Amino acid sequence: MKKYLVGGAVRDRLLGIANDNTEKDWVVVGSSPEEMLDLGYRQVGKEFPVFLHPGTQEEYALARLERKVGKGYKGFEFDISKAVTLEQDLSRRDLTINAIAEKDGELFDPFNGQEDLDNGLLKHVSNAFSEDPVRVLRVARFAARFNVFGFKVAHSTQRLMQEMVVSGEVDALTPERVFKELEKALCYETPSPFFKVLSACGADERVFPMLDRNAPTAHDNEFEFLDRLDTNSAIIKFALWLHNQSTDAIGQLCRHIKCPKEYSQLATLTSQWQSFARQIQQQSAEELLRFFARTDALRRKQRFEQLLTIFALLGIEVKPIRQLRNQLDNIDIASLDKSNIAEAIQTKKLAIITLFCNSTE
């Protein structure tokens, strides 16, 4: 049995960005599930045997070969026999920069991943890349993550990704995986390469088919505004990405990729109310009261603050909105007429809004 550190931990160390929080993944050559269990490792995963180290809890996967038997990233059969070599295991990986192994300080790099790291290239290991549609998303995400190093997609890999779109392989992506990769990309400082790579190979129209390609943020050069935002919040960047899409398109997308409810709600509110917020000084007291009610500003305070953050990032003046919201939140309910408390609260809110509007004219 031989154990090798593989993948991201090796890559990130060579890039000089590894730290104590960098996850370590290992591949085990010349072992079996029975032997791993006898050594105290705990098996996880149903598709192929992955084991957790009894001490560190790091993941150890048996070296394996894959054979494509169906659509999508689950359509594989695995060979985990002791005869599978390290090079064979590395050959099934997505990119050359992820196909480097290390043991006792010695690097094993049969596919020249170090050279591609030096040249800033995201290049597939073999044509088996095209058998797993998740790899299209991963390449796009790596382009965003390593944008600071100037990484670009190799032309040969770009062509392969385009072929995967044309063949329909990309259509086998599961909604949950699309959202997972999208969310990770949005957490990076420069998420725009994620969208640009998907657009360049045509995958964006397959994974986000309902979006309006003529909306301002649907053009390649418009995605860069996401890189200039002073936030790494994925949910806020998600809403900003979609801020010029219709609420109907946002609803379809969120159902399609099964994103969390809070993402869908915030994006929808942004689309609904950004134009209103830009003209806040021209709104009537009744319209302003409706705005605070529909956005649930007094009960969903954290979400409303996120909405104001988005408005501010879009260049909207939010100070008067926040001041008015705070005044409405401080109504002394005990001083109101109890005979019809709901109507009394409504009347008081309108009075506060009217006074506020008159004071800012």
Tell me, what's the pLDDT at 214? 75
Cα–Cα distance for residue pair 358/349, rounded to 1 Å:
14
For residue 67, pLDDT beyond 90: no
Tell me, what's the pLDDT at 338? 80
More confident residue, 261 or 216: 261
For residue 71, pLDDT beyond 80: no
Tell me, what's the pLDDT at 252? 97
Domain residue ranges in the chain: 1-119, 274-359
Among 331, 185, 320, CA closest to 257: 185
Among 119, 193, 132, CA closest to 161: 132
Tell me, what's the pLDDT at 219? 41
How do residues 302-319 score in pLDDT, each as one tens digit? 999 999 999 999 999 999
Q: What is the mean pLDDT of the chain?
A: 91
pTM here?
0.89
Tell me, what's the pLDDT at 232? 84
Buried residues in 269-297 as b, exposed as e (16+ CB within 10 A): bbbbbbebbeebeebebeebbebbeebeb
Domain 1-119 in this protein, CATH class? alpha beta
